[in-house]
Amino acid sequence: MTDSTALQYKILNPATGQVEETFETATDADVAAALETTQAAYVEWAARPMAERVAIAHKIAELFYERKEELGRIATREMGKPLSESIGEAEFCGDIFKYFADNGEKFTADQEIESFIGGKAIIQRRAVGPLLGIMPWNYPYYQIARFAAPNLVLGNTILLKHAETVPGSALAMQKLLDDAGVPAGVYQNLFATHEQIADIIADPRIQGVSVTGSERAGSAVASLAGKHLKKSVMELGGSDPFVVLDSNNVSEIVDTAWATRIENTGQACNSNKRMIVAEGIFDDFVAGLVAKAKGLTPGDPADEAEGTFAPLSSRAAAEKLHEQVQDAVSKGATLHVGGELHDGPASYYSPAVLTGITPEMRAYSEELFGPVAAVYKVADDAEALKLANDTEFGLGGSVFSADTERARKIAEQLEVGMTNVNAPGAESFEMPFGGVKRSGFGRELGPLGMDEFVNKRLLYIAD
């Protein structure tokens, strides 16, 4: 029997700490029906001409644009993202669906390869079957879109288990796809328990699983997927280096560093969690960050009043971040500003600037998932590179310098899945996203995003 108490799907507004709505978890009968339906739907969906799937994907994009404000308010209510960012996220989802609709035919076109045994050899890209997606709360629409868009266009079907803290966004996504004409069973939201998820992965009808989330969640799911010989894609944590070798305009680079770190209240996997700055500009850089953080007060993320900051997604998240910062301070780090855990039950944690972090501190090796600018001083490029790579994570990284070639030389040596020169990242629907080391494996978005859950079938025709 499934332990239905393992998870509780609920809308808990982090700006107030109040539970506003709860939802029943799926029954075992619900899960069994979903598995049967997704398999039946796959047979019909994959057999359709791609042009029909593309037309529906275009409609999905249109609805994201039309409903962006409605969707934004749902996300802001249940996970605390500033409203303008929530609306922007919904717009970005429209861009993602449009991109794969526009390029699906090209990305899956037959590819003839050279044959040394005569005849004709062709690589074909075909759907593989029903997939399971396990998605996080921090970008409740975008995380689904980058997984669902290429796979729906390709012809796969999807069971989607969203984070238990964003059920409103999960249901809004289901309704949007239904309204766009996605056939019944092709995309199904499930408020599943952990035990049910294990059963779904084990089911022979499921052909793959995609996870965006913590290392712990990724490790648990990847082990199950491996046990049952299922393909998996993992986008896990990150502790991305933001390396500043020099700057002709420290104020400008501070603006970039702060805007990147504070996006989504610091709750982004590929945020610049470690700022590594040359000693010649270090003091000015830190002073600039402190000026940005100083005097900010808690505010309603739906209003975004000037001089305010949004809550973290949950009280537990705020408390964990506070513990990490206090651990560093107790061991000699300097907290220049912020770092205040505000009274509960809301989830406010004031944006902070932290320096003097050393390896014995939790902040050195753990991901700081919140608005903390951790800044490190380095003497030269070699020290910057060594520090940048001294992490178990490997999602992204960036290097800044007035000398582009100097920055590129360091960027080329970063042990990451996405490396950037004079930009904090390349955030766009055509840019592949993913990491190495403990940040996971596989890629989403761009042409590589349609090349994960696909049967790269060989068709050989003899002379």
Residue 269 annotated among the catalytic residues of the structure: yes
**Which has the closest alpha carbon to 93: 74, 68, 75, 56?**
68
Q: Are 17 and 347 in contact (CB under 8 A)?
A: yes
HSE (CB half, 13 Å, CA atoms) of 266? 26
Q: Are 396 and 270 in contact (CB under 8 A)?
A: yes
Q: Which residues contact 18 (CB under 8 A, 6 or more apart)?
A: 12, 345
Where b means 16+ CB within 10 Å and e means fewer, 250-281 reads beebbebbbebbbbbbbbbbbbbbbbbbbeeb
**Which has the closest alpha carbon to 285: 324, 243, 317, 331?**
243
Locate 410 and state its tokens. Answer: 């360091």
Q: Which of 263, 269, 367, 444 is the catalytic position?
A: 269
Residue 235 annotated among the catalytic residues of the structure: yes
**Which has the closest alpha carbon to 244: 380, 364, 401?**
401
Q: Which of 89, 235, 263, 415 is the catalytic position?
A: 235
Identity of the residue numbered 268 = A
**Which has the closest alpha carbon to 189: 159, 216, 163, 165?**
159
The residues assigned a catalytic role are: 235, 269
